[in-house]
Structure 1
Amino acid sequence: MTVLYLVLAAVTLTVAWLRARPSHRPPDGPPRGAIRRTARWRWIGVAVGVALGVAVATADSPDLGALLAAPVFGLCVLVGVLIGEASVAPPGGPTRTAALEVRTVQDYLPRRMSRAVGVAAVGLLALLAVTSANSGPDDAGNPGRALKLRCPPTVEAHGPWPGAFYSVPLAVVVLLGLAVAYVVLRNIVRRPRPGGTPDLIAVDDASRRRAARAVTGAGGILVGLPLAGVAATASWALLSTGCGPSWGRPVGWFLLVAWPMVIALTVWWTTAVLVPERTTAAGVAS
């Protein structure tokens, strides 16, 4: 995880440097340069996320690393989009125009996709809370790594189990990623307009929707793959127990059935990141 901290520190300094640059572009100029720049940074975030995700997945704790690899990838994509948005200089020149308008995050979010991400995030955090509350030490004494069940006169232990050993670092990375996603979306909304003509405004809005869709997809990857991993692991443990609480087997079957749906949603979210939608000037991504 040291590499992750170094990368996060580096991108934070980069964002601060980009925001401090006093560069301006001609007033009412074409936004194509800004679109290319934001797309370039998004792809840099994807490349760094893949490399860092592989490094985390092959870390000293392979099972924990594999669980954190996807959130790390999504976090890198979000940071890449944030840097791209921060690098767009406001219009400058002797004459500038401005329009009075109110822009909100909801204006640019793909509605169905963002709702699916919200449901998945709530589901992941709720599942982690339940699995952590029913966890105990494994045979090696690692706390929060096994499902402990009292089966008189013995106690059964099933693992690996997504207890506190896994859920705490995973929840920290996911919550950090969701906070970054909110900051990125705010920057997308507050980015200055490239000009005041209807054509430039339409192209600029399409660019914002495309960036918001990529952010939503990255947020989906951030929660989707960990949710799939936690659901598969928890269902296997719950369905293989000889005893346990009355809710154990129903929840296990529910997680097993929900697992393919989570995978399908994650494929959808990944497509949003890797295959930017070709929106029309007035098109709304969904």
Structure 2
Amino acid sequence: MADADLGTTAPASRVPVDRYARWTGLIVGALVGRWLSSLDHGDGVLYAIPAFGLCAVAGVLAGDALTPPAQGTVRTAGLAPRRVRAYVPPRVTWLLLALAGALVVLLVVAGAIASPDDLGHAGRALTATCRGVTQSATPWPGFHYGLPMLSSLAVATAACGWSLRRIATRPGDEQSRRDRSLAVVAAWGLVVSASLLGAASTASGALMDISCDGTAGTVANAVLWPLATLALATVPWTLVTVCSPRASWGRRSAAGDRRRRALRRPGSGERR
């Protein structure tokens, strides 16, 4: 059964906590990503991307946990249980789910055809042979890079799914639930789109360095380029949404003040 909705939002003194937590997650992610990108002979950017996304997710979830739920005038609530899908943006969510599916398929296929590099690191290179000549290109998003990406996606999915469920079922007003669900979806989308951008662009670059890929390489690039472009277009939206919580706190607080004044007004027809 759904809990009773509450009329106002968190106290103004606690509002900046959400924004500070999100920015802290992004800053920590940038620092960790910069350190990781220097690893693996300078090719650690494929480690840095999922790490940055996970830090962004942690910042959003921390901000949500540190911000108290809305408190104020109690309104009646329906008997139907609240569902997560009622608060997430449907079109964006479906787009991100499709990108996540494409990322998983790409990493699994890339891992299956990957080969060791010159240093013997498994799953880090793409090797092809034609006319008696063997060509190799690296980095390649095989399991050397793919497993950390898949692990970060699994962790982010579990954490964000739990958070969305928590937001949908706890007390609060409807708009607050939608705003916070949007932020969580955007943080998860940052992990998905940034990882897909890194994996698709890296795979495409490796294929273009090899002349023995033939028709298969041409078809693969025809798929990878649109995926990378779509991911590139999605990343800025996720970043902006994570960085800028919706500035509706003031409007809601003002609405709460008006409701409280109406309760104190004689003959208003509302219960005290």
Using structure 1 for the length normalisation, give the TM-score. Answer: 0.73
CA RMSD of aligned residues (A): 3.0
Unaligned runs of 5+ in 1: 1-26, 194-203, 282-286
Q: Kindly provide the amino acid, as one letter, of the partner of residue 31 in structure 1.
A: T
Structure 2 residue corresponding to 1:45, chosen from 20, 25, 28: 25
User: How far 1:59 moved relative to its partner?
Assistant: 4.3
Partner residue in 2 for 1:207: 176
Partner residue in 2 for 1:73: 52
- 2-structure distance, mates of 1:192, 1:40: 23
Partner residue in 1 for 2:265: none
Structure 2 residue corresponding to 1:235, chosen from 198, 204, 211: 204
Q: Kindly provide the amino acid, as one letter, of the partner of residue 50 in structure 1.
A: A
Partner residue in 1 for 2:221: 252
User: How far 1:40 moved relative to its partner?
Assistant: 4.1
Partner residue in 2 for 1:149: 128
- For the 8 Å contact 2:128–2:134, the answer to whether it is kept is yes
1:57 aligns with 2:26: no
1:39–1:187 CA distance, 2 compared to 1 (3 A): farther
Structure 1 residue corresponding to 2:90, chosen from 104, 108, 111: 111
Does the residue aligned with 1:247 lie in a helix, a strand or coil?
helix
Give the length in aligned residue pairs. 243
In the TM superposition, what are the counterparts of 1:114-125 in structure 2 within 5 Å? 114-125=93-104
User: How far 1:113 moved relative to its partner?
Assistant: 1.4
1:87–1:152 CA distance, 2 compared to 1 (3 A): same
Higher relative contact order (CA 8 A, sep 6+): 2
- 2-structure distance, mates of 1:87, 1:274: 16
Structure 1 residue corresponding to 2:10, chosen from 3, 28, 32: 32
- For the 8 Å contact 1:105–1:185, the answer to whether it is kept is yes
1:176 aligns with 2:145: no
User: How far 1:51 moved relative to its partner?
Assistant: 3.1
Q: Kindly provide the amino acid, as one letter, of the partner of residue 240 in structure 2.
A: T
Runs ≥4 residues deviating over 6 A: none
| Rg larger for | 2
- 1-structure distance, mates of 2:68, 2:244: 26
Q: Percent identity?
A: 33
Using structure 2 for the length normalisation, give the TM-score. Answer: 0.77
Unaligned runs of 5+ in 2: 253-272
Partner residue in 2 for 1:24: none
1:150–1:132 CA distance, 2 compared to 1 (3 A): same
- 1-structure distance, mates of 2:128, 2:22: 46
- 1-structure distance, mates of 2:127, 2:169: 50
Q: Kindly provide the amino acid, as one letter, of the partner of residue 131 in structure 1.
A: A
User: How far 1:118 moved relative to its partner?
Assistant: 0.7
1:273 aligns with 2:252: no
- 1-structure distance, mates of 2:66, 2:80: 23
1:191–1:62 CA distance, 2 compared to 1 (3 A): farther
